Amino acid sequence: MEPRLRVFLCCVVMTFLCGRGTGTSSTTGTKFSLKTGVRVTSAANQIRQITRTVTQGNWTLLFRAQAGINEPVYLTYINTSVQHDNPVPLDFPTACLRMSDYGACDRHFRSHILDNFVGIDQVRLSLIKSDTEVAYVVFDAVGASFQAWFSPSRIVESTWMPDVPNESYHRPTLRGDCPSTTVCRRFYLFGPHTGCRSEWLYTMTLDSASDLCLDLTAEYAGLKLNYPMFFYSATSGRAALSINPSYPTAQTADVLALWVKYV
């Protein structure tokens, strides 16, 4: 995109009030301020016609997944038939572009950028709960494909510093570990599979209606889950499902948003 157009979009079209990215040199960084989300004016439909992307500061929305809508995340992420911007269609729900007031959102958002993944410096994975970015991790995406940037060795900044880049994980990939309908976990930063009661995580996206380990917890035992579910550690360290008392219990987010920053 032309810089001039990008600036125009940032400033005029869909503005996150108070939105500000963070510096890239620090490893602790600052959470996004997303309270007010995307503001679409009364001329929303007219604006959509010229809106190629959704932005916040220097970050452009790459993908946005909504919890509990029973639509797969990973299969949507890789599906090149799905594009919701360039421009954003008139009938695409505004709630699914926002980071606040998104209760009515009924679908995932997939940017055309995924199908032209070039010139990208960083990817930010944001976990949003109650209109707030509750955890994030920024990856160095230089030279990576649209699936390969998700790697612990590429982490440059996170709410889970200092340990998150250096832990031993089980299949720490975007595709994650999905051998069956009772284990289907994406965006996977999860420790070795040693048995549910001793396992820990920083984040995982549950991408099916049941899960082997959640079935052992009091909250979810025997339930058909409304997926996806976005689990995350709310501290700077490891979390666990409630069956492992060694760590704080992982929390669930409402939205998983991915952003890109261009070189």
Q: How far is the CB of 51 from ligand NAG (least distance, A)?
A: 19
Q: How far is the CB of 216 from ligand NAG (least distance, A)?
A: 30
Burial of residue 249 (number of CB atoms within 10 Å: 0-12, 13-18, 19+): middle
Q: Which is nearer to ligand NAG, 46 or 116 (CB)?
A: 116
Q: Which is nearer to ligand NAG, 79 or 236 (CB)?
A: 79
Q: Which is nearer to ligand NAG, 46 or 181 (CB)?
A: 181
Please report, as a single letter, which amino acid is at residue 148. A
Counts for the chain of helices (H) and strands (E), in that order: 3, 14
What residues contact 238, with CB distance under 8 A and at least 6 apart? 163, 167, 191, 200, 201, 202, 247
Q: Which is nearer to ligand NAG, 17 or 212 (CB)?
A: 17
Q: Any long-range contacts for 90-94 (C-beta under 8 Å, 24+ apart)?
A: 90/45, 90/48, 90/49, 92/48, 94/38, 94/40, 94/44
Q: Which is nearer to ligand NAG, 79 or 147 (CB)?
A: 79
Q: Which is nearer to ligand NAG, 44 or 87 (CB)?
A: 87
Q: How far is the CB of 123 from ligand NAG (least distance, A)?
A: 15
- What whole-number distance in Å separates Cα of residue 42 and Cα of residue 255? 25
Q: Which is nearer to ligand NAG, 34 or 241 (CB)?
A: 34
Binding residues (CB under 6 A) for ligand NAG: these are: 20-21, 57-58, 75, 79, 81-82, 162-163, 165-166
Collapse the DSSP code of 140 into the 3-class scheme (helix H, G, I; strand E, B; otherwise coil) and give the result: strand
Q: Which two tokens stand for residue 88?
A: 């954003």
- What whole-number distance in Å separates Cα of residue 139 and Cα of residue 124? 6
Question: 225 and 68 in contact (C-beta within 8 Å)?
Answer: no
Please report, as a single letter, which amino acid is at residue 176. G
Q: What is the CA radius of gyration of the chain?
A: 18
H-run or E-run covering 253: strand 251-253
Q: What are phi and psi of 230, to 5 degrees?
A: -110, 100
Question: 192 and 170 in contact (C-beta within 8 Å)?
Answer: yes
